[in-house]
Structures are given as C-alpha cells and as structure tokens.
Structure 1
Amino acid sequence: MANIIELFERFAWYGFFMLFANYLTSSIDVGGLELSQAQKGIIMGVGTGILYFLPVITGSIADRFGYKRVLFIAFIIYTSAFILMPLFKSFTGVFLIYLYLALGAALFKPIISATVAKSTTSETASIGFGIFYMMVNLGAFFGPLVTLLFKNSSYTLVYYISAGIIAINFILLLFYKEPEREESNESFGDSMKKVFTNIFEVLADGKFVVFLLIVAGFWTMYNQLFFTLPVFIMQWVDTSSMYLFFQEYAPFFSENYGTANGQMEAEFITNFDAMYIILFQVIVSSIVMKWRPLRSMMAGFLVCAIGMALTLTTQNVVFTLVAIYIFAIGEMAGSPKITEYIGRIAPAEKKALYMGYSFIPVFLGNVFAGFISGNVYQWMSDKTTFVKQEVAAQGLNIDESLTQNEYFEQAASAMNMNTNELTNHLWSTYNPASIWSVILVIGLAAVVALFFYDKYLKSLENK
C-alpha cells in the first residue's frame, strides 16, 4: 500500500515538475509566466533544495506524531498547493506557493521509505526497495505523459490533475497500516534539539562530509535534466523531424504531444530519460552489481556528465535523444550506488543516522543547479536575452510590452526573417550551446574528486 501511495505521489509530482521550468519562463500567450531564467533558477533551486533539507526535521515529526497522521497533513498541503498554484503569477507569489508545496512533499518524503524499511526483513528489503524505486520511475514516466495531454488547453489543468491524483491517496490512506515504531516520551522540543545535535555529529565526520560535497556536484549536473534541458529544447532544438515521423507512423503522439507549429513538446523529449530507466535499469544494475560502489559512481558520474553536456550541444532532436540515453546509462550506474555506499561506510551503530543525512548533497545539488539553470543559463544560452541583445545591436525599436512570442515574431519580421531563421541566426551568433562546457566541467570535477577520494581511502587502508 505504501508503494502504491508512492506511485500516485510521484505521478502527481513529476506530472507538474517536468513542465515547471517552461511554465515559469514561457510566453504568456501559451500559458507561461514569462519569469526570467534567473527567477526560475531561484524558485526551482532554492525551493526544491529546501524540500530535500526538511526531511531531517519532518522525519522526526512523523516518528513523533505517527506516519498516518502526517501523511494526511501532507496530502492536504499537496492538494491545496496544486489547486492554488495557478492563482499566483508573480515571482514572489509563485516562490511562496512552491515553498508551501515543498513543505507537503517534505512531510511525505521520509515516510514511505521508512515504511518500506520497517515492513521488510533483511531477506525481503531488496525486493521491497526494488518495488519502491520501480514505482518512482513509473510515476516519473507516466505523470508527464498524462499532464502534457492538457498543457495546450491550460497549464491550470496540469495542476488540477496533479491535485486529483494526490487526492486519490486520501482513499488509499484508509488501507495504509501504520508500521510499528518506538514511542518516545521526549517533548517535541527535545526531539528537534536531538535532530540538530545529530547534524553536527554527522558533520564532524570529515571523510563523510567530503563525500557528500563531491556527490553534490553530481546532483548539480543531474538536475539540469529538469531545470535546464526542457527550456533548452523548447528554445533551440528543432523537433519537427520527430513530429513528422510520429505523424506518419504513430499519429497519436504527434496529435497529443505535438505543438501547433509542428514541433514536439520539450517535456515529451526529456521524458525519454524515465523510459530508458524503466527499460534498462535491471540490465545496468546486473552489470555494475559486483563493482565497488566508488568505481560504479565514478563511471556513472562520468557517463552522466558526458550525456548531459551532449544534450546541450545540438539543435538535432535525434542527437538529443541519443545524448539523453547516454545520460540515463550513467544515472542508472551511479545514482543507486550513492545510497549503497553511505550504508557501507556508516558506523554500525549510526547507519540510520548517516542514511538520514544523505539528503545533504541533494539539497546542495538543487541549490547549485538553480544557479546554473538560472543566472548562468540566462547569460550564456537564453533565447529571450539574445533576441533583445540582437534587437539593440541592430538599432531596432520593438515594443517591450509584447509577450515573448509576439516580441520574437516582431523581431524576426523587422530583420526580414521567419522565426526559424531568426532562431538559427541567434544560434550561430551567440553560441548558446556553450553552456555544455559548464555542465561537463561540473561533472568531471565530481569524477576527479571522487577518484582522489578513493585513492586517499585506499592509502589509509594500506597503512
């Protein structure tokens, strides 16, 4: 039951989150908010980062007040946040409602994994968590495919669908059985004091902190899948060849995941990552199963970095799909090994404590990823920024009050081009693909740091 609840929660989450970057930055006339890339980076980076930081506190709340009660509160916050989200249009308003949504997710996040852990034995834990991760990926794959069907009608429907999916969990909660947990006589204040004492205890382990910082580099690069890639594809990649392919051989996809101008939705392209994982995770896991965790992580991080960098180098959609496949192979090899490694290096009497603080690199990775996809992308790759620079460079006068799409069309007309020709002109003039080097450097830095970390640990073992 816990895993089914996880499936619907991930379905609702990824149903909106895969679309979130383009919702924040797209033109008003297609339902977007026209926020800047920097503002998008703050909302997604800081907001999602806080989501991953809070479980260290919310986990203690769940242990104190009961899983079922906290899940009920989480679903109330989730549902109300999704319903309210379309009402907020300003940067401040969207940021605040997203933080409210993140609170609901943070209350939910530690409970299901804890339920699986408490409901399985050493013999059944592997299959239990295998089902858990399968549910995560199924939700991540099918969520966007459903919500994208309604994106062209209204982004508001996307949030309402996510709210409806989460609301199903109110019914499932009736059948959820509270796992056994230790009752504590501590006050809530004492529980919180222990939480922060534990943080300092973990941070006192220098080798563990170094490992967490290295892994933060991986998550910074990984999160570009959600923060940067959908925007890059929408702004720069020509997906018309895929549209024409589906139109001829599988019209359902072109009709439901295509746009009015003969392109495929950017989020449909990025969603191939989840499909690759569903298809190939077992194969990749069987290959790296016997590898040392650090070796598997190094290989995975390297392949991931190369794949993500390649997704940002081209306007060719077929090349993009191949690059996403490369990225997914690295993700499947490296990401699961992080948790396994933390479990191995944690002192026997502190395994639960160390596993609980594995959120730190995810938190940092989201914050850093927000900066890269925000300020850095706006400076190096943002189409909206470049067209305004080109208009200024040519001394043209175009009304700033126009929507993004209207402004771009006016600029193209003023330069005697169509919109595709202007896109290609900006591509060759401003080289937006150069951001690939930033992503690759971050990934390579994590790989190199992990290599020397491994060498250092081996030298300690040989002494």
Structure 2
Amino acid sequence: MALVAVLKNYNKSFWTSNTIELFERWAWYGFYLAFPIFLVSSSETGALGFSNGEKGAIMGTGSALLYFLPVITGAIADKVGYKKILLLAFAIYASGFYMINIFNSYALVYFAFVWTCVGGAFFKPIISAMIAKTTNDETASIGFGIFYMMINIGGFIGPFIAGALLKLSYEYVFYMAIAAIGVNVLITMFFFKEPGREKDDSNLFQNIIQAFKNIWITLQNWKFVLFLVIMILFWTAFNQLYYSFGIFVDQWVDTSLVYNGLHAVWPWLAETIGDNGTISAVSMTSMDSFFIIVFQLMVSAFVMRFRPLAAMMGGILVLSGGLGLMFATQSGWLILLGVLIFALGEMGSSPKFTEYVGKIAPADKKALYMGTSFLPIAAAHKLAGWLSGDFYEGISDKYFLLQKEVAKRGLNFPADFSEEFTKNDFFSQAAEKMNMSQVELTNFLWKSYHPSNIWIVFSGIAVSAVVFLWLYDRFVIGKK
C-alpha cells in the first residue's frame, strides 16, 4: 500500500515525461544498436560497407558530443523553455534518422549522425530535469527508479522490434525510429506542460558562459577529477556493447541453437525475430535491457548494503567477466550468458556511479558535480570509437583477417570494396578459391587468427578500472 500511496503523489507532468523518455529510448536504441552493423555490413544487403575505422570515427565523435553538449543545451532549455526545445530536438532527431537512411557517402553519414546526436543533446537534460522538478524528497527515489525502468523498457522494445524489421530492410529500422519520435511530437504538443522557471535576468550567452564556469569550479577538486579519469576506462569498456558486440556477433557467432531453443518453447517469437533460423545481433544485444528490466530491483536491493565505491568495483569486475564471455566464444547460448553477466555488472555499477558523485559533492554544488559527471562518458565514447575502429579491425574483423589470409596465399582480389565488389562477394569468392564453404572459412579464420582475443583488451580495460578504483579508495579517499 505504501508504494501505491507514493505512486498517487506523481502528477501528470511526471508520467508525461516518463512516457516521452520511453519513446525516445525506443527510437534511439532501436536505431543505435543496428547502426554499427548498418555502417560496416556488405553494401548489397542495404548497408554501407564502411570500414571499422570509419564506423568508430562516426560513432565516437557523435556520441561524445551527445554527452558533452548538454552542458550548453541544458542552459539553452532553461532560458528558451522546455517544450520548444523538446520539439526542436525531435525535429533534429527525425531529420537525422531520415538523412542517415538516404545518404551513402562517409562524409554525409558522418554529418547526419552528428546532427542526430545534437538532437539527442537537446533532449537529454530536459526529461531528467522534469523528473527532478516533479518529485520531492519522499518520491524522488521511486520516481527516478521508474524513470530508469522506462529507459530500459524503451531500450529493449526498440532493438527488439528493430531485430525483426531487419528481415525486411534496414530502412524500416529508420522508419520505426522516426515513427517513435513522431509519437513524442504529439505527446509534447498536447500533453506536455511547461514547468515553472525561476526568473533569470541574464541572457543566453551569459547562461552558457556560466555553465562552463561551473564545470571549471568542479574541476578544481583534484580528487574528483582523478575519479572521473578512472571512470573513463569503465565507460570505454562498457560502450563496446554498442560499438563492437553487434558486429562481432554478426560476423562470428552461430545463433541457430538459440533460435532452435526459443522455437521449441515459443515458435511465434522465434519466427518473428528470427531470420533463416538465426537470431539477429541486434536482438541478442537488446537482451541487456531485458535482463535489467527483470533483475534491476533484486540487484539494487543486494548492492545497497555496500559502499557506492565498493559496489562499483564489484559491479565493474562482474561486467568485465561478462564482456570477456561475450567476445570469447562462437556459442550463441554462452554469448547470452555473457550478456546476462554483463547486465548484472552494469546494474551493480552504473547507478552507483551517480550515487557516488552525489555523495562526494559538496551540499551546495551537487548539481554542478552531477553535470560534470557526464564528461568522462563523453570522453569514453570518443575512446571507445577509436578502440572499436582500426584497433578492433586488426584483431577481430572477419574481412580484414581474410584479406591477410588471401595475401598469404597469393590470391588476387580487388584492393578495395565497392558496389561492384562487395564484402560478401569477397568472402564467397575467397571461400570458393580456397575450396571451403563459407561456414568452413569462418571457422578456419576463427581458429587461425583468434579474433576472440579482443576480449582480453576489453575485459582488461574494465579490470584496470577496478584496480585504479581500489588504489583511489585506498590511497586517495582513505588518506586523511
């Protein structure tokens, strides 16, 4: 009954904001989890056929801006008004998704994704601010819990549907994202109520300058800065779920056993999300959000007994184990187990990051510290983009490794991929010349070049974050 009583305290603006968040996450993650595969897959499938280096540059730059620009866009929203900025964000989102769908050159796709991320940067500070404005000390804890749940419900539904739509065409994924944003336009126009704002006589330029001054104030605390630098390592490893995992599954993992197991229990679901007896990489990745929806309350109840920093270290260590399993095997079921372990680690560490920043911030500077805590996430996206680019390609990309093998054998192929000679053309012709089926060639490359070794790098980065956090806790925080 206590929970029911608390739920009754939330007003219409609270539920409207949460609904907007759900559809925005639906659109974003439905697109974002398919995006790296769309960028690098063979062009005759409707994808773009870019290199991993190009993919990493596009995603790393745009995503970094998505987390850095709220420093500015938040100040703009406070001055101009939340409703106007929401509608602007959705206009940028929809046009960005449309442009990515129709563009096919590297420069134009790069621009379109950065443009889309600018829309996300306008959106990001508004809804979290609305949750803060529509809750109080008694309702904030459950209120932000509901908000986090909405994020993950949208983060599961979007990719789950995208995985089914990929059977038809990549363009349907973009249409889905645009449609979800369209729903948000209607909700915002007819149901979103502008919150009250404190009178502010300063102009917009002064607000933006003040936002940067606020960041500078927090960066005077060297202990806090050191903590943020360490957390760049965590977020870099964490982001490989989005940057590299889908491509790894798409190129190396046999998901037919997962499809068959699901089909035996729920044929309709397997046939809906499956294609030719396999489960798409996007659907496999979406299970991270599904596991969070199912287990978040239990994990939160377990880790609440630990200090935030200790919970973070434990969570990141668990996450590193899941990350290792996700990239160390070709077994679809073991991959899913890795995603589950990864999700458990994420649930134990990611919320505690926010809690820890709130605890160490001076009472009169909590908002400043919380805003600055996005900086390591922005930096980590840029680093994750680089790591998932040429670095990942040299160790784990199937087509790059095949190029090494055919060069070793003295087989002649065009130097570059094109519409006339795609990645799939290269793979099928190489398999024919090497007297192998495509499955046999994939397994040969797996055994000969060990692309799974990338798990050592990704898990190692996460483990290094744990080690540095322990040293930080022991010698910096523990030092009197």
Q: State the TM-score, normalized to the length of structure 2.
A: 0.94
Distance between the aligned counterparts of 2:478 and 2:151, measured in 1?
38
2:443 matches 1:428 = no
Distance between the aligned counterparts of 2:267 and 2:49, measured in 1?
31
Matches within 5 A, 1:337-356: 337-356=352-371
Match of 1:61 in 2: 76
Deviations 1:36-55 (A, max 9, x none): 00111111111101100000
Please list every run of 5 or more consecutive structure 2 residues that lacks an aligned counterpart in the other structure. 1-15
Deviation (angstroms), 1:255: 2.2
Deviation (angstroms), 1:184: 1.0
2:175 matches 1:160 = yes
Match of 2:335 among 301, 320, 338: 320
Match of 1:26 in 2: 41
**Aligned letter for 1:181?**
R
Distance between the aligned counterparts of 1:178 and 1:122, measured in 2?
22
Deviations 1:383-439 (A, max 9, x none): 010111111111112345411112101110110000000001001111101111111
Q: Is the 8 A contact 2:99 2:109 kept in 1?
A: no
Deviation (angstroms), 1:290: 2.0
2:204 matches 1:188 = yes
Match of 1:265 in 2: 280
Deviation (angstroms), 1:312: 0.6
Deviation (angstroms), 1:311: 0.8
2:64 matches 1:49 = yes
Deviations 1:182-214 (A, max 9, x none): 121111221121122122212111011111111
Deviation (angstroms), 1:145: 1.3
Distance between the aligned counterparts of 1:145 and 1:71, measured in 2?
26
Distance between the aligned counterparts of 1:418 and 1:277, measured in 2?
39
2:464 matches 1:445 = yes
Deviations 1:120-142 (A, max 9, x none): 11111011111100000000000
Moved more, 110-119 or 194-203: 194-203
Deviation (angstroms), 1:235: 0.7
Distance between the aligned counterparts of 1:307 and 1:396, measured in 2?
38
2:30 matches 1:11 = no
Deviation (angstroms), 1:250: 2.4
Matches within 5 A, 1:61-460: 61-173=76-188, 174-260=190-276, 262-399=277-414, 401-460=420-479
Cα-Cα RMSD: 1.2
Aligned residues: 460
Moved more, 397-406 or 152-161: 397-406
**SS of aligned partner of 1:318:** helix
Distance between the aligned counterparts of 2:478 and 2:200, measured in 1?
43
**Aligned letter for 2:80?**
F
Deviations 1:95-144 (A, max 9, x none): 10001100110000000000110111111101111110000000000001
Deviation (angstroms), 1:277: 0.6
Please list every run of 5 or more consecutive structure 1 residues that lacks an aligned counterpart in the other structure. none
Distance between the aligned counterparts of 2:270 and 2:172, measured in 1?
20
Deviations 1:324-347 (A, max 9, x none): 111111100010000011111111
Q: State the TM-score, normalized to the length of structure 1.
A: 0.97
Match of 1:40 among 49, 55, 66: 55
**Aligned letter for 1:147?**
A
Q: Is the 8 A contact 1:85 1:94 kept in 2?
A: yes
Deviation (angstroms), 1:456: 2.3
**Aligned letter for 2:325?**
L
Q: Is the 8 A contact 1:297 1:337 kept in 2?
A: yes
Distance between the aligned counterparts of 1:109 and 1:391, measured in 2?
47
- Identical counterparts, % of pairs: 46
Q: Is the 8 A contact 2:163 2:281 kept in 1?
A: no
**Aligned letter for 1:429?**
S
Distance between the aligned counterparts of 2:245 and 2:475, measured in 1?
35
Q: Is the 8 A contact 1:398 1:410 kept in 2?
A: no
**Aligned letter for 1:28?**
S
**SS of aligned partner of 1:12:** helix
Distance between the aligned counterparts of 1:304 and 1:122, measured in 2?
32
Deviation (angstroms), 1:220: 0.4
Deviation (angstroms), 1:458: 4.4
Deviation (angstroms), 1:257: 2.3
**Aligned letter for 1:223?**
N
Distance between the aligned counterparts of 1:384 and 1:395, measured in 2?
16
Distance between the aligned counterparts of 1:339 and 1:307, measured in 2?
22
Distance between the aligned counterparts of 1:233 and 1:221, measured in 2?
17
